[in-house]
Structure 1
Amino acid sequence: MIGSAQAFVDILKTIQRCAKVDVPVLINGETGTGKELAARALHYAGPRRAGPFQALNCGAIPDLLVENELFGHVRGAYTDARGTQPGLVELASGGTLFLDEVDALSYKAQGALLRFIQDGTYRELGGGTDKRADVRVVSASNKSLEALARAGKFRQDLMYRLNTLIVDMPSLRERREDIPALVTYFLQASEKEFSLGSKHFHPQSITDIISYGWPGNIRELENFVRRAYLLTDGQVIFQSPDKSPDHCSNLSPAGDGPARRCNGAQQAIVPFSDAKRLAVDYFESSYIAQLLRTTGGNLSRAAQLAGKERRAFSRLVKKHGIIRSDF
């Protein structure tokens, strides 16, 4: 998890506090804010870190199969059940069960989950006896469970079982100062994956990226950076986010302004001083990454090429969270 914005630092502290207590946790947040990463951080920072981490996207499983996925089945439970299959609850025993999009569960599935959370027991489909599993349940939703409960679409008793502790993930709009570091990280990841050489964004593109609304949050940003990296032949990326997340706007390589401006509906007005600081942050992080890549991670040699003292250069590396071993 990458970031130094106060909203992000605060959520890391919340995760650390929640990890110490073995009770259910509900993670709220818009799509693409990193809810599963937060769930994994809760698991690996807590006392169950040595146990398994099992995840289920409740919105991606047909209602008829949810209980089968959670609790498993015995042979003969239904026509195609030719053998016994353990559910995720059993597989997660001693560890963490992460339920993403928990708001998508039907009322029937909610009742079965409630029973398990209440007493730790469940019954396989077709089974005749109750089984027990020691599991910590972490759930996530991009909708308000309280609002759904008031509307009669989510069991209130289950909501109170799931939200013993709550983690509210900040949107990318609430942590714009982390965007330069995230862009650098995703560019480095793309370079490693596709081996198309080192690339960086044009300063005007960075200004547009920082100002963009990012309704899809970090997932949308990652997708944009990967696409821009793949579609750019040279070292400088002349692309900016468009209102539509499915395509990019191209900037004129001659530097005479955008060939197509971003739609203002998705843009935020960033004060000049903030935009300048964030653009400088991006320049620093991408420049340092380029030097370390050139020197194979040799800090002294990179500092020498930059014309800076080793100690000052080391502070910049630390400031931007750059890991030398990645080079």
Structure 2
Amino acid sequence: MAKLEEVDSSTNLQAIHDRNLKKKRMKENLTGYAIISPWLIGFLALVIGPMIASFYLSFTNYNLLSSAQWTGIDNYVNILTNDGRFRQALTVTLIFVFVSTPLKLLFALFLAMLFNTGRKGTSVFTTIYYIPSIIGGSVAIAVVWRILFGRNGAVNEFVQALGFSGVNWIGNPDTALSVLILLVVWQFGSPMIIFLAGLRQIPQELYEAAAVDGASAFTKFMKITIPLLTPVIFFNLVMQTIGAFMTFTQAYLITGGGPMDSTLFYALYLYEVAFEYLRMGYASAMAWILLVLIAGITLVFFLSSKYWVYYESEGGR
């Protein structure tokens, strides 16, 4: 009888302990949700909500001045089959993305390797070279860039001092896009910092062992640096590609999409359709096409990463 009472008492104590533990965990969970509630509310109200509204509007004819009228997939059909400026904007954006992004990453990696020597003063230069990434997308820098590459700007003055004739960099369809590419490549500070962090994680013993075996600097770079840096390269590639697709400020302020739509970026054309022509349904459809395009390219990067990205924890590629 005493043993049964002891068992019942032990069971009751365990049940009380479990209830208390459950209440404690629930309290902790509620506290956590309360802490992140401002972000969660903002995410639902400012991201998910507008996305749902945009998806609905992409199937309507909506101009902000009257109620939306359901049109089905007409917006998508018109964009993909009848809109020549859409094809021009898409072409310009793809050229911009796949030219500026590799150049930016190559330049960032080159400077990261220079700053990885450990010499005195490199931290100061790293900070200085990072500044363009902070201010490069600002309105002020876009205006300065427009002045620099204007017909009477500093770039033409330098070119003329060398004995060459000046070039209308912004007004020429053959050079306008190059000016914008150069501006984006100049903003290499962010990927440079990430590359520098990745380089400092590579064990120096590997380089020492390679030196003992007589490996050249190029061999060390190709056989040690690049393979061990591929996760960082992959991260920078994905982030910079997505960012390049959304470039807007530079084209809007420097060239306005001209001349002859040679710098008509996708985001700029979407802005024109939405806020100049007030075709919000059409612009929403364009936004979703851009989302699908970016998602598709990102998916290709992820699927291909298993063939060239090296993860040490997985024992190789």
Output the TM-score relative to the length of structure 1. 0.20
Say which structure is richer in helix: 2
RCO higher in 1 or 2 (8 Å CA, sep ≥ 6)? 2
Larger Rg: 2
Say which structure is richer in strand: 1
